[in-house]
Amino acid sequence: MDTNDASTTGRWDGLLLGASLATLDGDGYGEIGDGALAWRDGLLAYVGPRAELPGDPATLADEVIEARGWVTPGLVDCHTHLVFAGDRAREFEMRLQGASYEDIARAGGGIVSTVRAVRAADEAGLLRQSLPRARALLADGATTLEIKSGYGLDFDNERKMLRVARQVGAELGIDVRTTYLAAHALPPEFKDRPDAYIDAVIDWLPRLHGEGLVDAVDAFCEGIGFSPEQTRRVFEAARGLGLPVKLHADQLSDLGGAGLVAEFGGLSADHVEHTSTDSVRAMAASGAVAVLLPGAFHVLRETKLPPLDAFREHGVPMAVATDCNPGTSPLLSMRQAMQLACTHFRLTPEEALRGATVHAARALGLADRGVLRAGMRADFACWDIGHPSELGYWLGGRLATAVHIGGRRLA
């Protein structure tokens, strides 16, 4: 069946005309001038030139929309800690006064301070605080969000976070992918007993997965987090349940985290500033995605760049995400993440856009979105721009004129 033909699929639900399309299907931006984009039952049914439509637009679709500017695939934020309580603005001030990330963490700040706030919040309050952040991301073009746990650090509060993440998706009508990140930091009640805490993390996982709350498993493999051996134990538990893994890898030092992701056939290694060439080769062989998080790089004023040339040389896909979190990346715009990736990491605007769509979807194991192609999900964003490169150019402002998820326009 040719899904680019209304005669074989029936009348379309919607048809957008007039804008240029950046399909990202093939080389370059995949540009189609004076394009047409149609959808039916939540999937794209026609993507091509307006002049090649198989008939009068008024007879082809229930709704015909005249547009201008450009249309891209919806943006995919593949790494967020969006569900949290409170903020850490005071820590931001401390860093500007000279305190390091490690200094703040060892003084009882950092992740553990957000843990206290999350534990004190009830489910309704946590949802109430999290929804505005999700809405901000959607308003700037995001159509899929990943949300991690990791600020509960006990069974009930990790469960609460994952439940709230699911509620964010239900409330906003979007696809939220949940990631279990209980191995994020050592909670106070397990002080000096990290192996015992990993035992607990592994014990909680089957119960949370059984409730349908876990799509993937993550850990923080770092000197101030968990060792490669402890991370391996978490990954083995995930593999036993058939869950994919990803990792906060090689952010502050090279502990071989990205190579561990590759060994387990994981979806992605995230941060990756200190990743070695050997680990890059392993990622290339396994198909893992390198998720670049320029927001944290920017806020922490890091200087060690990820091995970008090695990723390009070995064909490792590079995704871009916000890492939205209260401590090191209070970033509420995928477009701003793209701009920071261009500025700090020297990605081209095309690389940044692919990183926020095609490769970000791959980092979540999703093959049904990220490009504009018939048969894919009808997730797309309309932009008031003259060329797609502007998405990686403008600092701030409002460029999105409409965002559609499964063909449904967000209010």
**In the beta sheet, which residues pair with residue 291?**
270, 319
Query: Using CA atoms, how far apart are residues 66 and 60, in angstroms rounded to an integer?
Result: 14
Is there a single domain that holds both residue 248 and residue 350?
yes
Q: Where are the beta strands (DSSP E) in 228-365?
A: 246-249, 268-271, 289-292, 318-320
Quick one: pLDDT at residue 132? 98
Cα→Cα distances 2→14, 21, 47, 204, 286, Å: 18, 20, 12, 47, 33
Q: Within a domain: residue 57?
A: yes
What are the counts of helices (DSSP H) followed by strands (DSSP E) for the chain?
A: 16, 18
Residue 105, domain CATH: 3.20.20.140
88 has binding-site annotation: yes
Q: Tell whether 7 is covered by a domain.
A: no
Q: What is the pLDDT of residue 62?
A: 96
Q: Which residue has the tokens 């006064």?
A: 97
Query: Is there a binding annotation on residue 81?
Result: yes
Beta bridge partners of 56: none
Distances in Å between the Cα of 203 and the Cα atoms of 165, 185, 209, 276 are 21, 16, 11, 32
- Look at residue 6 and tell me if it is in a domain: no
Q: Could you tell me if 81 and 158 lie in one domain?
A: yes
Under-50 pLDDT residues of the chain:
1-3, 6-8
How far apart are the C-alpha atoms of 334 and 14, rounded to whole Å? Answer: 26
Closest C-alpha among 140, 136, 138, 73 to residue 335: 140
At 58, the amino acid letter reads A
Task: Please report whether residue 254 resides in a domain.
Answer: yes
Helix or strand or coil: residue 265? coil
Q: Is 359 annotated as a binding residue?
A: no
Q: Is 302 among the domain residues?
A: yes
The conformation of residue 350, written as its DSSP 8-state character, comes to H
**CA dist 134 → 82, 247, 364, 381 (Å):** 7, 22, 18, 16
Q: In this structure, are residues 371 and 129 in contact, taking their beta carbons and an 8 Å threshold?
A: no
Is 93 a member of any domain?
yes
Distance CA 240, CA 370 (A): 29
Are both 378 and 302 inside the same structural domain?
no
* H or E element, residue 59: helix 57-60
Q: Are residues 88 and 181 in the same domain?
A: yes
Considering the domain architecture, whether residues 255 and 381 belong to the same structural domain is answered as no
Residues 26 and 87 in one domain: no
> pLDDT tens digits for 208-242?
999 999 999 999 999 999 999 999 999 999 999 99
Encoding tokens for residue 246? 């990803």
Does residue 1 belong to any structural domain of this protein? no
375 & 335 share domain:
no
Long-range Cβ contacts of 393-398 (<8 Å, 24+ apart): 393/339, 393/342, 393/349, 394/335, 394/339, 395/336, 395/339, 396/336, 398/139, 398/140
Q: Per the annotation, does 348 bind a ligand?
A: no
Looking up residue 400, the CATH number of its domain turns out to be 2.30.40.10
Residue 386 is part of which domain span?
12-73+371-409
| 57 and 195 fall within a common domain | no
Count of Cβ atoms closer than 10 Å to residue 149 Cβ? 28
219 with 282, same domain: the answer is yes
Is 106 contained in some domain? yes
Same domain, 47 and 171: no
Q: What is the pLDDT of residue 7?
A: 46
- The annotation status of 34 as a binding-site residue, yes or no, is no
Asked if residue 245 and residue 264 are part of one domain, the reply reads: yes
Say whether 184 counts as a known binding-site residue.
yes
Does 325 belong to an annotated binding site? Answer: yes
- Tokens 């081209």 locate to 348
172, 29: one domain:
no
251 among the known binding-site residues?
A: yes
Q: How many domains does the chain divide into?
A: 2
**What pLDDT was estimated at residue 174?**
96
Q: What's the CA gap between 192 and 213, in Å, rounded?
A: 29
Find out whether 144 is annotated in a ligand binding site. no
Measured CA to CA in angstroms, residue 251 lies from 30, 223, 257 at distances of 33, 10, 9
Give CA separation, 102 vs 3, 42, 257, 369, in Å: 54, 46, 19, 38
